[in-house]
Chain A
């Protein structure tokens, strides 16, 4: 994918549309890494064998869940805007929503020793990315950045 290009998606923000957004991010990861292989268009499975793809998709999916479940509280009729930017050595996913805001710094780290059944989403996102920025809105903005080796080498 050419450096500086942007992929955008504006979509209803529901769990039904989640797969659409996750697939777009997964495919953009593959392109950003310069993976020239042809995707298997007949396959309905995710190809997340590359750690870069796996980690960015994991983080994005958790943030998407948070927006649907917490910012919008599963309300119908709401929208999410996603913009994927590829720059030399990094990929950034910007996500905008008009739901309720929260204080990112107030979210505690989960106590993993207690085997929690919730509160792991932001921990996953933070751990899988190089940078997580949240700016309360409206619109609220999430900026998820992950550096990748392929573009660093090529630049």
Chain B
């Protein structure tokens, strides 16, 4: 599975579910949905990575960009469900604490 993602909103919370592979080939596919979340100044974004199998530094960069842009307008981003290889990458890059996984 290359990448699969969806967004659902409940009140102030936007849930962004990303599954499959988030890497140099697929990160750009997230750009539009990330732009819309940032432009709408969503106050709270929860990124569900329970279905994510593989991430690389390009995928991490996409999530960091979402985090920084959301924080810039006072919003919050948290990540849930990271496991296996993606969790190992987040821990190595010390992003497990930033994303409050």
Contact = CB atoms under 8 A, between A and B. Distances in A.
Interface of A: 15-16, 18-19, 22, 44-49, 51, 54-55, 57-58, 61-62, 65, 69, 112-113, 115-118, 120-121, 123-124, 127-128
B60 interface: yes
Contacts of A117: 61, 64-65, 68
Interface of B: 1, 20-21, 23-25, 53-54, 56-58, 60-61, 64-65, 67-68, 84-85, 88-89, 92-95, 98
Nearest to B61: A117
Contacts of B61: 117-118, 120
Given A54-B84, A118-B61, A61 B23 contact: yes
B85 A120 contact: no
Contact of A46 (B54, B68, B94): B54
21 contacts: A16-B25, A45-B20, A45-B53, A46-B53, A46-B54, A48-B53, A48-B84, A58-B85, A62-B57, A112-B93, A115-B64, A115-B68, A115-B95, A116-B64, A117-B61, A117-B64, A118-B57, A120-B60, A121-B57, A124-B56, A124-B92
